[in-house]
Amino acid sequence: MEDRSEHLNFASVIQSITLIVLEAFLTFLLKSDRQSKKIAQNLIHQQALVEIRTSFPSTVVFVTFTSRGVLLDAKQPERHVDAVITATFKDMAYGFFTAPASSLRKIKIDGPIELIDELRILMSSFNLQQIINHWVQSDWFKSLLVPNKDVDEDGEQITHGRATRSQRTLIKKLNEQQLIVDQMNLQTKEQLYVIAKLHKRMKILMTVGFMMLFCLAAGLAGTLIYFLR
């Protein structure tokens, strides 16, 4: 009995340490990725509480979006859950690392429609592949490649040597265009998700309509047979 109690305490300590490390890692990623942080603003404002259930292995984790970052708990906080995410551990891991469409479709989300949409869009952006792409395209990452920087009369950072004003202007325009492209990509993802939802609803409506027509036709046929006898 004592051995079992010690084993449970050890497992609880390991779980707590894992959640703390994962919480710090996710918070760092969310705060460092401008696009994901922008998408999560409404979730942070609502302090949304999301329950994540995985199978194979079976785990339950509660995620709270706050202004300080992402908070993880093994036990449910003393408040209602806003949404429930259910998936296998494999699909959840694939979704976090590369967010393939096949894995994202298998992830089930229960909750208000608006919250489901926000979580779907966030999952498509908040994954390591997208975050690394955003880092590589960011100004601070590009600045790491420039060893010695100075500031010109316009307040622009320049390298010691051969960078001309026209080159700096071109780089600035390219950065602005890249920001516009990122925003357009985000809008495209949102629109594609809305279109997919509309297609799904249309299929459901068409199925219901065909069923109603079939029932109506069967009823009319039954009525005709009854009166023709």
Report the 3 state secondary structure along 32-96.
HCHHHHHHCHHHHHHCCEEEEEEECCCEEEEEEEECCEEEEECCCCCCCCCEEEEEEHHHHHHHH
| Residue with the larger pLDDT of the pair 78 and 1 | 78
- pLDDT tier, 81 (very low <50, low <70, confident <90, very high otherwise): very high
Q: What DSSP designation does 156 have? A: -
| Residues with Cβ within 8 Å of residue 121, at least 6 apart in sequence | 39, 189, 190, 193
**Nearest one of 13, 94, 8, 92 to 50, comparing CA atoms:** 92
pLDDT at 6 over 80: no
The residues facing 52 across adjacent strands are 61, 85
Q: Verify that 93 and 7 share a domain, yes or no.
A: yes
pLDDT digits (tens, 9 = 90+) for 54-80: 998 889 999 999 999 999 999 999 899
Sequence letter at residue 164: T
Of 49, 77, 112, which residue constitutes the final position of a domain? Answer: 112
pLDDT class for 205, splitting at 50, 70, 90?
confident
Percent of the chain with pLDDT over 90: 30
Q: Write down which residue in 95, 112, 129 finishes a domain.
A: 112
Q: Are residues 81 and 152 in the same domain?
A: no
* More confident of the two residues 193 and 120: 120
How much is the pLDDT for 198? Answer: 81
Q: Are residues 29 and 96 in the same domain?
A: yes
List the one residue out of 126, 119, 114, 98 whose CA is nearest residue 35: 126
Does 108 map to a domain?
yes
Residues 50 and 149 in one domain: no
Residues 7, 108 share a domain = yes
Phi/psi at 58 (5° precision): -85, 120
State which residues form the domain around 219: 138-229
Q: What is the pLDDT of residues 125-181, one digit of tens each?
A: 888 888 888 787 776 666 655 544 454 444 445 444 444 566 567 667 777 777 777
Whether 229 is in a domain gets the answer yes
Ramachandran assignment for 98, one of left (phi > 0), alpha (psi -120 to 50 degrees), beta (any other)? alpha
* Statement: residue 111 has pLDDT above 80: yes
Confidence of residue 26 (pLDDT cuts 50, 70, 90): very high
With a cut of 70, say whether residue 37 has pLDDT above it. Answer: yes
142 and 209 both lie in a single domain = yes
Query: Do the domain assignments include residue 126?
Result: no
We report the CATH number of the domain holding residue 3 as 3.30.1050.10
Segment among 18-32, 154-168, 195-209 with least mean pLDDT: 154-168
Q: How does residue 27 score in pLDDT terms, banded at 50, 70 and 90? A: very high
With left for phi above 0 and alpha for psi between -120 and 50, is residue 227 left, alpha or beta? alpha
Structurally, the chain folds into a number of domains equal to 2
**Residue 124 maps to a domain:** no
Contact 96, 128 (CB under 8 A): yes
Kindly state whether residue 205 falls inside one of the protein's structural domains.
Answer: yes
Q: What is the pLDDT of residue 159?
A: 47
State whether 46 and 11 are in the same domain: yes
pTM: 0.60
**Distances from the Cα of 224 to the Cαs of 28, 218, 219, 220, in angstroms?**
71, 10, 9, 6
Same domain for 19 and 64?
yes
| Interior/surface letters 197-211, b for 16+ CB within 10 angstroms, e for the rest | eeeeeeeeeeeeeee
Give the residue from 66, 96, 112 where a domain finishes.
112
CA 77 vs CA 16, 74, 158: distances in Å: 15, 9, 50
Within this chain, do residues 198 and 105 fall inside the same structural domain, yes or no?
Answer: no
Q: With respect to residue 123, please indicate whether it lies within any of the assigned structural domains.
A: no
